[in-house]
Amino acid sequence: MKKIIFTLFLTALIFSCTEDKSEVTTVSGNALGTTFHIKYFSTIDFDVETKVDSVFEAVNKSMSTYLANSDISKINKGDSTIQVDHMFREVFQLSKKINKKTKGYFDPTVGNLVNFYGFGADKISLPTEKTHDSLMNYVGLEKINLTENNYIKKENPQIYLEFNAIGKGYAVDRLSKMFENEKVKNYLVEVGGEIRASGKNLENEQLWRVGIDDPQQDETERSIAKIVSLNNTALATSGNYRKFRIDSVTGQRFVHTINPKTGFSEKSDILSASVLAKTCAEADGYATAFMAMGSEKSILLVEKLPEIEAYFIYDDNGNLKTFTSTGFEKNLLEK
């Protein structure tokens, strides 16, 4: 499961003026089952709260498994008459791309397994005699397709599709698009720990900065492992290292994540996977996949993918280690 494992360097200032007369505005609240924080500079006044709400409402209506009347919920219940919108199509096509690049380690059809393990929006609805092995019959993104007319076609009606591992990142991208339509060039958008930045923080005339948590911190105090400078890019972090377990024999730290290749909730040696990409949805999807892949496979893949950069905190036989790709290293700052 995902946790918000970052620290955002925002001020409490609501309105002030910079030298170029741009006003700084901060907006925060709850959406998509998590929190969001936005900070931007603009010379134009517009109803930002209404526009932000409308973005979340549209994303929810399209792909929230927590809303019974959303398109994705209707599709999961067997409704084949739903014609999905452009947002659904974009997320589906990106999911196909990441699924292929990660050789199946990112797979939105794990919904039945997510529900089976108690992590999803729905209780498992299959008959009790259905075993874990039978659930795997409904896993595999190759078993579901989207027609040119935007209808979902499944090999089996029991296939349960969910975009929770990429949806918050996509919502960040939609919010960013909204600001760009309003001619806002300098902004930072964060939803549930997924972030996209544009331009600068005009209060200090520097690129936006965010922090990645130190996994060795205790429960009462947060400390920063790395500070990342965001140069018109997106950052997503997956991990659950606040609830990692320690093997009593080896001393190794690990977290549990659902492996779509096996269908089991398995140990992962990666405690935190942070990914930089052009879009937040892409960063979000890859960060999720890396948690299932583990450090060895993930490092090999990152070095082959020019479109992303990554920073991993992982356990190597009881010793905490890090991997930083060349591009990610260029964005790190001294604490």
pLDDT in tens, 257-271: 788 988 877 778 898
Whether the per-residue pLDDT at 181 is higher than 80: the answer is yes
The least confident of 98-102, 118-122, 234-238 is 118-122
Geometric angle at alpha carbon 267, from 159 and 299, rounded to 5°: 90
Q: How high is the pLDDT of residue 177? A: 98
Reported confidence tier of residue 136, pLDDT bands at 50, 70, 90 = confident
Higher pLDDT, 325 or 134: 325
Q: How high is the pLDDT of residue 128? A: 47
Query: Any residues with CB less than 8 A from the CB of 291 and at least 6 apart, and which?
Result: 238, 239, 255, 257, 268, 270, 273
Higher pLDDT, 255 or 60: 60
Q: In 3D, which of 31, 148, 123, 101 has the Cα closest to residue 302?
A: 101
Domain range list for the chain? 66-165
Share of the chain above pLDDT 70, in %: 81
The CA-atom distances, in angstroms, between 138 and each of 80, 113, 131, 160 are 17, 9, 12, 7
Backbone angles phi, psi at 110, to 5 degrees: -80, 10
Whether the per-residue pLDDT at 126 is higher than 60: the answer is no
Task: Please check whether residue 287 is in contact with residue 328, taking contact to mean a CB–CB distance below 8 angstroms.
Answer: no
The most distant pair of C-alpha atoms in the chain lies apart, rounded to whole Å, by 68
Whether the per-residue pLDDT at 4 is higher than 60: the answer is no
The least confident of 17-26, 99-108, 259-268, 286-295 is 17-26
- Mean pLDDT is highest, among 35-39, 109-113, 120-124, 257-261, for 35-39
The least confident of 160-174, 213-227, 313-327 is 213-227
In angstroms, the CA 205 to CA 176 distance is 20
| Average of per-residue pLDDT across 105-114 | 89
Whether the per-residue pLDDT at 255 is higher than 80: the answer is no
Higher pLDDT, 247 or 44: 44
In angstroms, the CA 153 to CA 147 distance is 7
| Average of per-residue pLDDT across 282-288 | 97
pLDDT digits (tens, 9 = 90+) for 48-106: 999 999 999 999 999 999 999 999 999 999 999 999 999 999 999 999 999 999 999 99
Q: In 3D, which of 83, 80, 84, 78 has the Cα closest to residue 62?
A: 84
Q: How high is the pLDDT of residue 264? A: 79
Q: How high is the pLDDT of residue 21? A: 60
Q: How high is the pLDDT of residue 22? A: 80
pLDDT digits (tens, 9 = 90+) for 156-177: 999 999 999 999 999 999 999 9
Reported confidence tier of residue 221, pLDDT bands at 50, 70, 90 = low
Structure tokens at 141: 């993104």
CATH topology of domain 66-165: T-fold (1.10.3980)
Q: How high is the pLDDT of residue 256? A: 58
